[in-house]
Amino acid sequence: MSWNPHRYSEIQRVLEENGLWLVRSRGQNYLIDKSIASRIVNMVPHDIPIFEVGCGLGSLTVLLPPRKVYALEIDHGIFRLVQSLIQDPGIHFLEGDFLTFDVQGLGEKRLFFLSNLPYSISGEALRRFIDIPCFEEGIVMVQKEFYERMIATEREKNYGVFTILIQSFLEVKQIFTVPKGCFFPIPSVDSVVIHISKKNPVMDTSPQHYEKLQQAFRSFLLEAFGSKRKTILNNLKRTREEKNLLEAFHTLEIAQTSRPEEIPTEKWQKLFLMVGEKPWI
């Protein structure tokens, strides 16, 4: 009998038979709604190898049409189990942590990114997606509250350093919402399926420099957001000439009394270009 990763009873059975259990801290909430899984898979392009992060027991993996697939899993027990359950010469199961895995070492010029991202690593995983040149676009499922951070605008409570980074480097499009009851175990919140693609930031540079650019921009933002009770000027003038800051503020029409959460993403990019460090030059 072929493996069915969309049946709750089957998942329970194979986990019990192999002495395995799912760990909440790793975000192991597996999609068991086949119609949702099929809808996601149908949006994956047919002409690019796929890199799936956190394949779990194969909810998406088994539905992918024949092609080269790299399916990465961090949990050793789940990795060994899914290898035994899914026999497909086109699927290359890999064990490892995406945050440290050498994706470039696979030798692929382009890879399509696919993942049901655990909340605990969603931010770091998307920053790695930006840094790795062979990734251009992907389909990702994230928790709803995480998605709200991605699309927040200035003065909203979710707006911050992460929001500005994502909006600077990625185009993000919501596709549909997935109710929490579609997962096993059931998480505390609903999820959102999104399409992500890289875009050229205002701080235009070649893709091979994105990692250095992102690191420098993030450091700059962390400094500027250092204390939300302080103005941007007071946060930044500890390491920069106040005269240069005031000139940049005047050019960009930023008030000297502005606080970090009041400035839109595009102005943060322009301010960084004027007063930030540029290690890639």
For the stretch 155-165, pLDDT in tens is 999 999 999 99
User: For the chain, how far is it from start to end, CA to CA, in angstroms?
Assistant: 58
Closest CA to 60 of 146, 158, 182: 182
Kindly indicate the confidence band of residue 208, based on its pLDDT and cuts at 50, 70 and 90: low
Give me the residue spans of the domains in the chain. 8-198, 208-275
For the stretch 91-108, pLDDT in tens is 999 999 999 999 999 999
Phi-psi region of 253 (alpha: psi -120 to 50; beta: other; left: phi over 0): left
Closest CA to 165 of 46, 254, 47, 272: 272
Q: For residue 243, is pLDDT > 70? A: yes
Q: For residue 175, is pLDDT > 50? A: yes
Q: For residue 1, is pLDDT > 50? A: no
Closest CA to 139 of 98, 86, 183, 195: 195
Closest CA to 73 of 101, 50, 48, 45: 101
Confidence at residue 6, expressed as pLDDT on a 0 to 100 scale: 97
Query: Whole-number mean pLDDT of the chain?
Result: 93
Q: CA separation (Å) from 1 to 10, 89, 274?
A: 12, 18, 63
| Superfamily of domain 8-198 in the CATH hierarchy | Vaccinia Virus protein VP39 (3.40.50.150)
Element (H or E) spanning 175, and its range? strand 170-178
Kindly indicate the confidence band of residue 229, based on its pLDDT and cuts at 50, 70 and 90: confident
| Superfamily of domain 208-275 in the CATH hierarchy | rRNA adenine dimethylase, C-terminal domain (1.10.8.100)
Confidence at residue 205, expressed as pLDDT on a 0 to 100 scale: 62
- Dihedral of CA atoms 225, 229, 233, 237 in degrees, nearest 10, equals -80
* 8-198 and 208-275 agree in CATH topology: no
Confidence at residue 98, expressed as pLDDT on a 0 to 100 scale: 97
The upper half-sphere exposure of residue 70, i.e. CA atoms within 13 Å in the direction of its Cβ, equals 22
For the stretch 42-64, pLDDT in tens is 999 999 999 999 999 999 999 99
Instruction: Return the amino acid letter for 6.
Output: H
Q: For residue 139, is pLDDT > 80? A: yes
The upper half-sphere exposure of residue 197, i.e. CA atoms within 13 Å in the direction of its Cβ, equals 5
Distance separating alpha carbons of residues 124 and 190, to the nearest angstrom:
21
Non-local CB neighbours of 99 within 8 Å, separated by 6+ positions: 121, 124, 125, 128
Tokens found for residue 107 = 């030798």
Tokens found for residue 76 = 């050793």
Helix, coil or strand: residue 82: helix
Count Cβ atoms within 10 A of the Cβ of residue 129 and give its class: 0-12 exposed, 13-18 middle, 19 or more buried. Answer: buried
Rounded percentage of the chain residues whose pLDDT exceeds 70: 96
Tokens found for residue 86 = 């899914």
Cβ(112)–Cβ(45) below 8 Å = yes
Q: For residue 281, is pLDDT > 60? A: no
Q: For residue 279, is pLDDT > 80? A: no
Kindly indicate the confidence band of residue 280, based on its pLDDT and cuts at 50, 70 and 90: low
Tokens found for residue 92 = 């290359």
Cβ(92)–Cβ(75) below 8 Å = no
